[in-house]
Structure formats: structure tokens, C-alpha cells
Amino acid sequence: MKYLSGLFGMIVLAFLLNACATQSNGLTIKGKFDKANDMNVYLDKTTYDNAFERKAQAQASGNGSFTLSTEEMLPAGLYRVRMGSKSVDLVLNGTEKKIDISGDLSTVQNYEYNISGADLSKTYQENLAGFITRQKDQAAMKDFIDNADPLLASAMASKVYKFSAGTIMAHKSILKKLEAAYPNAPYTAEYKNHIAKTEAKAKPKRSKGKYAVGVGEPAPEIALPGPDGKVRKLSDLKGQVVLLDFWASWCGPCRKANPHVVETYKKYKDQGFTVYSVSLDGLDTRTKSRLKSEADIQKRMEMSKVKWENAIKKDNLIWDSHVSDLKKWESEASAKYGVRSIPTTFLIGRDGNIAALNPRYNLEEEIQKVL
């Protein structure tokens, strides 16, 4: 009898040890949220397609406390703790075993909650809280994302950059680092797949209309000299959002539009926006044929160049990228883009692709889409 009693005790002890071992192999999330009393609480694995996979479920007590547990550790990726319509985002690198979260359910959407045991999730929460309250601007967020753990960077980029044709290059840069740091994580493949889907969606939206280029297409290269003779390439600005502006000193509507372009440049330049101005000043073949000598042509050409330079100064066009081949309507750049009247503008995303055609009356709206 004593033998059986001892044997039974050993079995119970082995069972308890095995249960503890099983529990220790997974992830435990302990939480307490005001206004989450008696609510069902879920731990979901999330995707960029707004789908989710439930990993654990619990019910909060009368004071909003709950415990979520998984049998195994979760692979690196994006997760959330969901309570009704509110949720706490989690960025997990796959090593977390115990996470504590707390706060008030009414302020969760502002990233106002406490979290420990998940370093990436805490950094994600702190930075996005600062972004929402405007303590951190987009330029500061971009700098942080550029230097962050790629898993964290991808999660934050989806909130700050969103996914669009104009932000694909930024996401691809993060993907390259993600593939090196988390090559076997299912999340890496999911992120890559969503980037590909975003690119595919952009293609049917291409629309050239009356221009020689269309939305979603690579912006044709322009490499022309500035007033100082230095050649400035449009491609050198890749990585920024660029307003390609065709104008001329003799164009009244262009000069009238310039103050708004300057105002917009000053407002968004610190967030990665700039302007590349192509002037249609100069002389075309028809005008040259009317002049008596080469000396007259050179004199008129120099006068046209001076007018161009003076217009830049007078209109306070303070960006550096001013170019022209001084061929007026025979400009090679205007031919590449199908420009037949001025002012005409094209918005180019960070990836070097056309994001909008002649956004004169909704410029800021289009810029905000791709910044």
C-alpha cells in the first residue's frame, strides 16, 4: 500500500512537472485594463490583409484582469491582444515568454498603455504614441525606421508610410534587412507578398491621358544644366517625393502658381519633399530663324537665361534643382513627358515612379499620400 501511495505521488509529481514544463515552453500574457470588465480577450496573429489567426482566448475578470497563454512560443511577427473593438499591437521577435500589459481601454487607440516583457512592442508603442501626439514628426519617424530592427521597422512603416505605389521603395528597403535578420519567419514572406500585391494593384491604375507618362510608371530621366552650368539629374532625387514642375519666366500662370509651390516646399521639405524645376525659357528653332546672325541668337539666348535666373530669385524658388536646355517648346524634357502647356507638374514617389499627373489643385493631398 505504501508502495502504491509512493508511486501515485511520483506520478502526480511527474504530471505537475510536465505541466509546468509545457507551460514554460509557451507565451504568457498577463493584462489588466480598466473598462474591460468581464470581456472576452483574444490573442491574434495579424496580417496586412486584415485577416487574423486566433492563438489564445480568455475572459477578463470583474476588474479587467486576464491571462492569455499559448502552448508554444510564437514565431517572429505581428500580433494583437483584442478586447472588443480595441486592441494592443504586439511586435514579437519570437523570444518573448512573459508579457505584462495594462491601461485603460478608452485610450488604447492612442497607444496609451503600459507594456513590459516585449522590447520591440514597447518601442513600437512609445514611438507611435509620440507620432500621434506630434511630439515626433514624419522626418524623425523616418530616421528611426531607417535604423530600427527590421521587424519593428516594417510594423512602424505600415502605420507611418502606409502601402502605396509611392512608398514601395521604402518597404523594399526594409524587406531586404528583414530577409537577412529573420529569413525563416513566416512574417517575412507575408510582408514580401503584401509589397508584391501593392505593386500589382498600382499597375491597372496607370493612366496617361494627354501626357506621355502614366501613374505607376517610372519617371523618365532628365539630366540638364542649371543656371550655373552644373548638370542636375532627376534620378539623383530618388528616395524623396519630387514635384517635377515645368514652367518659364515668361509664363504668367506659372509665376502666379509659384508662391503656392514655394509654400508647399517649405511645409514638407523636412519630410522628404522637394521640387525639380524645368524651365522652358530660351529660343526654339523658329525664333532663331528670324534672327539675323549667330551673335543676335547668342544675345537673345543670354537675355532669356538672365530672365530665367531673375525669375528664380524674384519668386524665391529656393530649392537647388533648376534646369533648362533653353530650347523653349523644343525642350527634350517636355517631349519625354508630353508637356504641351505650362504650368504642368508631375508628382514622383520615393520609388521614382509617377504618383500623380498635374496635381495643381490637390497638390498637398497627393503629397500626403506618398510621403
- Residue 182 sits in the same domain as residue 281: no
69/159 same-domain check: yes
CATH at 330: 3.40.30.10
Q: Higher pLDDT residue, 296 or 19?
A: 296
Looking at the structure, do residues 302 and 349 belong to the same domain, yes or no?
Answer: yes
Q: Looking at the structure, do residues 196 and 236 belong to the same domain, yes or no?
A: no
Q: What is the pLDDT of residues 187-215, one digit of tens each?
A: 999 999 999 888 877 654 445 568 999 99
Question: What distance in Å separates the CA atoms of residue 58 and residue 67, rounded to the nearest whole number?
Answer: 7
pLDDT in tens, 313-354: 999 999 999 999 999 999 999 999 999 999 999 999 999 999
Domain match, 296 and 345 both: yes
Query: Is the same domain home to 292 and 366?
Result: yes
- Cα angle 173, 222, 333; round to 5: 140
Last residue of a domain, one of 155, 171, 205: 205
**Do 233 and 135 belong to one domain?**
no
Residue 351 inside a domain? The answer is yes
CA 93/CA 39 separation, integer angstroms: 28
Q: Are residues 94 and 149 in the same domain?
A: yes
Let me know whether 183 and 268 are in one domain. Answer: no
Listed residues 178, 205, 232: the one ending a domain: 205
List 278's β-bridge partners, or say none: 246, 323
Residues 6+ apart with CB under 8 A from 117: 96, 97, 98, 99, 100
**pLDDT above 50: residue 21:** no
The domain in which residue 64 lies consists of: 25-205
CA distances to 59, 89, 111, 121, 144 from 34, rounded to whole Å, are 14, 17, 15, 20, 32
Proportion of the chain above pLDDT 70, given as a percent: 91
In a domain, 8, yes or no: no
Is residue 133 included in any domain, yes or no? yes
Q: Tell whether 126 and 251 lie within a shared domain.
A: no
pLDDT of residue 47 exceeding 50: yes
As to burial, measured by CB atoms within 10 angstroms (0-12 exposed, 13-18 middle, 19+ buried), residue 140 is middle
CA angle 115, 119, 122 (to 5 degrees): 40
Would you say residue 231 lies in a domain?
yes
Model confidence at 23: pLDDT above 60: no
Q: What is the pLDDT of residue 102?
A: 97
Helix (H, G, I), strand (E, B) or coil at 371: coil
Q: What is the CA radius of gyration of the chain?
A: 29
* Residue 281 amino acid letter: D
Q: Using the structure block, give the residue that is written with the C-alpha cell 507575408.
A: 190
Q: Concatenated DSSP letters for 69-80?
A: E-SSPPPSEEEE
Same domain, 345 and 201: no
pLDDT in tens, 107-156: 999 999 999 999 999 999 999 999 888 888 878 888 999 999 999 999 99
The number of folded domains in the chain is: 2
Residue 194 lies in a domain: yes
Closest by CA position to 59, among listed 76, 37, 75: 37
Rama region for 122: left / alpha / beta (φ>0; ψ in -120 to 50; rest) = alpha
Quote the CA–CA distance of 164 and 171 in Å, as a whole number.
10
* DSSP codes of every residue in 120-163: HHHHHHHHHHHHHTTSS-HHHHHHHHHHS-HHHHHHHHHHHT-S
pLDDT in tens, 48-100: 877 889 999 999 999 999 999 999 999 999 999 999 999 999 999 999 999 99
Quick check: is 11 in a domain? no
Residue 9 lies in a domain: no
Q: Kindly state the average pLDDT of the residues 259-288.
A: 94
The 8-class DSSP code of residue 193 comes to: H
Q: Are residues 251 and 293 in the same domain?
A: yes
pLDDT at 19: 47
**Res 302 pLDDT > 80:** yes
Q: What is residue 290's predicted lDDT score, i.e. its pLDDT?
A: 84
Is 12 among the domain residues?
A: no
Average pLDDT of span 239-248: 96
